[in-house]
């Protein structure tokens, strides 16, 4: 057991309560709500989580468990990053919106130490980690999951500090809005 185990357990709980992918038409799912991530758990770590969710997003076709895994990994990474600095308020903002053309965009913006520009692509390499107990596998697994859904996953710098991790998932053309 490492010191971070309780945090991971808390986030699994949080992630379960995240209605990230909506099942409203059999196997077709929508990213429409990430509504329940208010999480006293995250607040217990000194992190406040804000949700900015677009209403009435169209349906996407996706694997609920895989997309939750992606979200969970991105959330844990953001909280790890923010826990590593005591600099200023620790805020994670999760937002969803339409991204033209024909894709939903999910954005996680944190106020951690951010990513050095030269390392932005290294993040997605297997075994790349800056954590003592890190595996460095999370993002290298998230990217092919998103690409298998026909989307993209990338990192950039947040302003004035922190990191932004974003991914798209295409809208399902077979389902009317």
| 48 contacts 42 by C-beta, under 8 angstroms | yes
Q: Which of 121, 37, 47, 122 is nearest to 84 (CA)?
A: 47
* 13 close to 21: Cβ distance less than 8 angstroms: no
- Write out the binding residues for ligand ADP, residues 96-125 only, by CB under 6 A: 110, 112, 114-115, 123
- Restricting to residues 144-173, which ones interact with ligand ADP according to CB under 6 A? 163, 165
Adjacency order of strands within the sheet including 47-53 = 47-53, 90-99, 103-110, 163-170, 153-157
Q: Which is nearer to Mg ion, 62 or 138 (CB)?
A: 138
Applying CB under 6 A, among 58, 62, 138, 170 the residue interacting with ligand ADP is 138
Largest Cα–Cα distance of the chain, in whole Å? 47
Among 138, 151, 162, 170, binds Mg ion (CB under 5 A): 138
Counting contacts by CB under 6 A, is residue 135 touching ligand ADP? yes
70, interface contact from Mg ion, ligand ADP, none, CB < 5-8 Å by kind: none
Residue nearest to ligand ADP (CB): 138
If the CB atoms of residues 134 and 150 are measured against ligand ADP, the closer one turns out to be 134
Residues 6+ apart with CB under 8 A from 65: none
The answer to whether 47 and 37 have CB atoms below 8 angstroms apart is: no
Residues that bind ligand ADP (CB under 6 A): 73, 77-78, 81, 110, 112, 114-115, 123, 128-131, 134-140, 163, 165
């Amino acid at each position: 057991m490492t010191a971070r185990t309780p945090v991971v357990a808390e986030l699994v709980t949080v992630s379960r309560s995240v209605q990230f992918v909506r099942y409203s038409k059999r196997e077709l799912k929508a990213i429409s709500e990430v509504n329940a991530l208010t999480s006293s758990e995250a607040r217990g770590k000194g992190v406040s989580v804000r949700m900015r969710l677009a209403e009435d997003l169209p349906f996407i076709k996706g694997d609920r468990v895989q997309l939750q895994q992606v979200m969970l990994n991105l959330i844990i990474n953001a909280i790890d990053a923010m826990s590593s600095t005591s600099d200023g308020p620790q805020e994670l903002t999760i937002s969803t919106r339409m991204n033209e053309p024909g894709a939903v965009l999910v954005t996680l913006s944190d106020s951690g130490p951010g990513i050095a520009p030269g390392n932005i692509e290294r993040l997605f390499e297997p075994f790349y980690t800056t954590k003592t107990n890190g595996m460095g596998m999370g993002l290298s697994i998230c990217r092919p999951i998103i690409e298998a859904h026909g989307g993209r996953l990338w990192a950039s710098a947040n302003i004035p500090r922190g990191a932004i991790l974003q991914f798209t998932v295409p809208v399902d053309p077979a389902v009317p809005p």
